[in-house]
Amino acid sequence: MVKKATKKEIDSIKSAFLTHYNNAVTELNYRNVYELVIAVALSAQCTDKRVNLITPALFEAYPTPYALAKANIEHVKSLIQSCSFFNNKAINLLAMAKRVVEIYGGEIPLDEKELVTLAGVGQKTAHVVLIEYTGANLMAVDTHVFRVSHRLGLSDDLTAIATEETLVKKFKSDLHQLHQGMVLFGRYICTAKNPKCDTECFLSQFCKSKDGFKPR
Protein backbone atom coordinates (compact mmCIF):
# COMPACT_ATOMS: atom_id res chain seq x y z
CA MET A 1 0.00 0.00 0.00
CA VAL A 2 1.27 3.47 -0.91
CA LYS A 3 2.18 5.69 2.04
CA LYS A 4 -0.23 8.60 2.44
CA ALA A 5 0.90 12.20 2.23
CA THR A 6 0.84 14.14 5.49
CA LYS A 7 -1.15 17.35 5.97
CA LYS A 8 2.09 19.34 5.66
CA GLU A 9 3.01 17.51 2.46
CA ILE A 10 -0.47 18.07 1.00
CA ASP A 11 -0.17 21.81 1.65
CA SER A 12 3.27 21.89 0.01
CA ILE A 13 2.07 19.89 -2.99
CA LYS A 14 -0.90 22.21 -3.43
CA SER A 15 1.31 25.28 -3.22
CA ALA A 16 3.75 23.85 -5.77
CA PHE A 17 0.99 23.06 -8.26
CA LEU A 18 -0.52 26.53 -7.93
CA THR A 19 2.89 28.13 -8.41
CA HIS A 20 3.93 26.09 -11.45
CA TYR A 21 0.52 26.07 -13.15
CA ASN A 22 -1.02 29.38 -12.12
CA ASN A 23 -2.24 30.12 -15.65
CA ALA A 24 -2.90 26.57 -16.87
CA VAL A 25 -5.89 25.97 -19.13
CA THR A 26 -7.10 23.07 -21.24
CA GLU A 27 -5.13 22.19 -24.36
CA LEU A 28 -8.38 21.57 -26.24
CA ASN A 29 -9.17 24.22 -28.85
CA TYR A 30 -12.60 25.86 -28.64
CA ARG A 31 -14.29 29.23 -29.14
CA ASN A 32 -17.42 28.87 -27.02
CA VAL A 33 -19.02 26.53 -24.51
CA TYR A 34 -20.80 24.55 -27.23
CA GLU A 35 -17.47 23.73 -28.86
CA LEU A 36 -15.92 23.02 -25.45
CA VAL A 37 -18.59 20.45 -24.56
CA ILE A 38 -18.01 18.66 -27.86
CA ALA A 39 -14.22 18.74 -27.52
CA VAL A 40 -14.29 17.40 -23.97
CA ALA A 41 -16.77 14.66 -24.90
CA LEU A 42 -14.55 13.60 -27.81
CA SER A 43 -11.45 13.59 -25.62
CA ALA A 44 -12.68 10.62 -23.58
CA GLN A 45 -10.09 7.88 -24.19
CA CYS A 46 -8.62 10.02 -26.95
CA THR A 47 -5.75 12.53 -26.85
CA ASP A 48 -6.32 16.27 -26.92
CA LYS A 49 -3.99 16.49 -29.92
CA ARG A 50 -6.18 14.09 -31.87
CA VAL A 51 -9.34 15.96 -30.88
CA ASN A 52 -7.82 19.25 -32.01
CA LEU A 53 -7.18 17.72 -35.43
CA ILE A 54 -10.79 16.57 -35.69
CA THR A 55 -12.81 19.50 -34.40
CA PRO A 56 -12.06 22.29 -36.94
CA ALA A 57 -13.95 20.51 -39.73
CA LEU A 58 -16.70 19.43 -37.33
CA PHE A 59 -17.20 22.95 -35.97
CA GLU A 60 -17.19 24.41 -39.48
CA ALA A 61 -19.85 21.97 -40.65
CA TYR A 62 -21.96 22.29 -37.50
CA PRO A 63 -21.25 25.65 -35.83
CA THR A 64 -24.31 25.60 -33.55
CA PRO A 65 -26.43 23.08 -31.64
CA TYR A 66 -29.22 23.76 -34.16
CA ALA A 67 -26.99 22.72 -37.05
CA LEU A 68 -25.71 19.63 -35.26
CA ALA A 69 -29.19 18.57 -34.21
CA LYS A 70 -30.12 18.29 -37.90
CA ALA A 71 -26.87 16.63 -38.97
CA ASN A 72 -26.58 13.42 -40.93
CA ILE A 73 -25.16 10.86 -38.53
CA GLU A 74 -22.96 9.27 -41.18
CA HIS A 75 -21.41 12.61 -42.02
CA VAL A 76 -20.64 13.29 -38.37
CA LYS A 77 -19.08 9.83 -38.09
CA SER A 78 -16.89 10.52 -41.12
CA LEU A 79 -15.61 13.73 -39.51
CA ILE A 80 -14.67 12.10 -36.22
CA GLN A 81 -13.74 8.59 -37.37
CA SER A 82 -10.11 8.91 -36.29
CA CYS A 83 -11.31 9.36 -32.71
CA SER A 84 -11.78 6.38 -30.40
CA PHE A 85 -15.36 5.06 -30.14
CA PHE A 86 -16.44 7.44 -32.90
CA ASN A 87 -19.70 5.60 -33.60
CA ASN A 88 -21.06 6.05 -30.09
CA LYS A 89 -19.65 9.55 -29.82
CA ALA A 90 -21.39 10.60 -33.04
CA ILE A 91 -24.70 9.26 -31.75
CA ASN A 92 -24.23 11.10 -28.47
CA LEU A 93 -23.28 14.37 -30.17
CA LEU A 94 -26.50 14.44 -32.15
CA ALA A 95 -28.59 13.48 -29.11
CA MET A 96 -26.82 16.15 -27.06
CA ALA A 97 -27.51 18.83 -29.66
CA LYS A 98 -31.16 17.85 -29.97
CA ARG A 99 -31.71 18.10 -26.22
CA VAL A 100 -29.91 21.45 -26.06
CA VAL A 101 -32.19 22.76 -28.79
CA GLU A 102 -35.42 21.24 -27.47
CA ILE A 103 -34.94 21.77 -23.74
CA TYR A 104 -32.47 24.64 -23.39
CA GLY A 105 -33.29 26.83 -26.39
CA GLY A 106 -29.98 26.18 -28.08
CA GLU A 107 -27.88 27.29 -25.09
CA ILE A 108 -25.54 24.91 -23.27
CA PRO A 109 -26.61 24.88 -19.60
CA LEU A 110 -23.83 25.88 -17.22
CA ASP A 111 -25.15 23.83 -14.34
CA GLU A 112 -23.80 20.41 -13.41
CA LYS A 113 -27.19 18.77 -12.87
CA GLU A 114 -28.37 20.02 -16.25
CA LEU A 115 -25.14 19.24 -18.08
CA VAL A 116 -25.16 15.57 -17.08
CA THR A 117 -28.60 15.15 -18.67
CA LEU A 118 -26.92 15.65 -22.06
CA ALA A 119 -25.92 12.52 -23.98
CA GLY A 120 -22.25 11.71 -23.59
CA VAL A 121 -21.79 14.12 -20.69
CA GLY A 122 -21.02 12.40 -17.40
CA GLN A 123 -19.82 13.93 -14.16
CA LYS A 124 -16.19 14.17 -15.25
CA THR A 125 -17.05 15.86 -18.56
CA ALA A 126 -19.42 18.27 -16.83
CA HIS A 127 -16.76 19.16 -14.27
CA VAL A 128 -14.08 19.70 -16.92
CA VAL A 129 -16.42 22.03 -18.84
CA LEU A 130 -17.31 24.03 -15.72
CA ILE A 131 -13.70 24.15 -14.53
CA GLU A 132 -12.46 25.44 -17.87
CA TYR A 133 -15.34 27.73 -18.80
CA THR A 134 -16.41 29.16 -15.44
CA GLY A 135 -13.47 28.50 -13.13
CA ALA A 136 -15.76 26.47 -10.87
CA ASN A 137 -14.25 25.10 -7.66
CA LEU A 138 -14.54 21.52 -8.86
CA MET A 139 -12.18 18.60 -9.40
CA ALA A 140 -12.21 16.15 -12.28
CA VAL A 141 -10.11 12.99 -12.32
CA ASP A 142 -8.81 11.60 -15.60
CA THR A 143 -6.05 9.01 -15.97
CA HIS A 144 -3.36 11.66 -15.43
CA VAL A 145 -4.87 13.10 -12.26
CA PHE A 146 -5.53 9.59 -10.93
CA ARG A 147 -1.92 8.50 -11.49
CA VAL A 148 -0.43 11.68 -10.02
CA SER A 149 -2.74 11.54 -6.98
CA HIS A 150 -1.68 8.01 -6.16
CA ARG A 151 2.02 8.51 -6.80
CA LEU A 152 2.04 11.50 -4.46
CA GLY A 153 0.09 9.68 -1.76
CA LEU A 154 -2.89 12.00 -2.05
CA SER A 155 -5.29 9.10 -2.62
CA ASP A 156 -5.42 5.33 -2.43
CA ASP A 157 -8.93 5.08 -3.87
CA LEU A 158 -9.64 2.53 -6.58
CA THR A 159 -11.96 4.63 -8.76
CA ALA A 160 -11.82 8.07 -10.35
CA ILE A 161 -14.99 9.24 -8.57
CA ALA A 162 -13.67 8.23 -5.14
CA THR A 163 -10.33 9.87 -5.92
CA GLU A 164 -12.14 13.07 -6.89
CA GLU A 165 -13.98 13.12 -3.55
CA THR A 166 -10.72 12.61 -1.67
CA LEU A 167 -8.93 15.40 -3.53
CA VAL A 168 -11.81 17.80 -2.88
CA LYS A 169 -11.65 17.06 0.85
CA LYS A 170 -7.88 17.44 1.00
CA PHE A 171 -7.43 20.52 -1.22
CA LYS A 172 -10.78 22.29 -0.61
CA SER A 173 -9.98 25.45 -2.60
CA ASP A 174 -8.42 26.39 -5.96
CA LEU A 175 -9.64 23.07 -7.31
CA HIS A 176 -10.04 24.30 -10.88
CA GLN A 177 -6.39 25.37 -11.08
CA LEU A 178 -5.19 22.23 -9.31
CA HIS A 179 -7.08 20.08 -11.81
CA GLN A 180 -5.53 21.86 -14.78
CA GLY A 181 -2.07 21.65 -13.24
CA MET A 182 -2.33 17.97 -12.32
CA VAL A 183 -3.45 17.10 -15.86
CA LEU A 184 -0.46 18.85 -17.41
CA PHE A 185 1.94 17.50 -14.79
CA GLY A 186 0.74 13.96 -15.45
CA ARG A 187 0.76 14.41 -19.21
CA TYR A 188 4.27 15.80 -19.57
CA ILE A 189 6.28 15.10 -16.39
CA CYS A 190 4.73 12.38 -14.23
CA THR A 191 4.03 10.21 -17.26
CA ALA A 192 2.79 6.62 -17.08
CA LYS A 193 6.00 5.33 -18.66
CA ASN A 194 9.42 6.83 -18.07
CA PRO A 195 8.35 9.69 -15.76
CA LYS A 196 10.82 12.59 -15.72
CA CYS A 197 11.62 12.17 -12.03
CA ASP A 198 15.26 13.27 -12.13
CA THR A 199 15.07 15.95 -14.81
CA GLU A 200 11.82 17.92 -14.66
CA CYS A 201 9.83 16.86 -11.60
CA PHE A 202 9.41 19.58 -8.97
CA LEU A 203 7.56 17.21 -6.61
CA SER A 204 10.03 14.32 -6.44
CA GLN A 205 10.53 14.78 -2.70
CA PHE A 206 6.85 13.92 -2.16
CA CYS A 207 6.72 10.90 -4.48
CA LYS A 208 5.58 7.69 -2.77
CA SER A 209 5.59 5.31 -5.74
CA LYS A 210 6.43 5.08 -9.43
CA ASP A 211 3.70 2.52 -10.15
CA GLY A 212 1.39 3.11 -13.12
CA PHE A 213 -1.91 3.32 -11.21
CA LYS A 214 -5.06 3.09 -13.31
CA PRO A 215 -8.62 3.52 -12.05
CA ARG A 216 -10.96 0.56 -12.05
Q: Give the catalytic positions in this structure.
A: 124, 142
**Angstrom distance (rounded) from CA 126 to CA 141:** 12
**Angstrom distance (rounded) from CA 212 to CA 210:** 7
Please report, in angstroms and rounded to a whole number, the separation of the first and last CA atoms in the chain. 16
With 0-12 / 13-18 / 19 or more C-beta atoms within 10 angstroms meaning exposed / middle / buried, residue 205 is exposed
**Angstrom distance (rounded) from CA 60 to CA 189:** 34
Other C-beta atoms lying within 10 Å of the C-beta of residue 100: 24
Which residues have CB under 8 Å from 90's CB, separation 6+? 73, 76, 77, 80
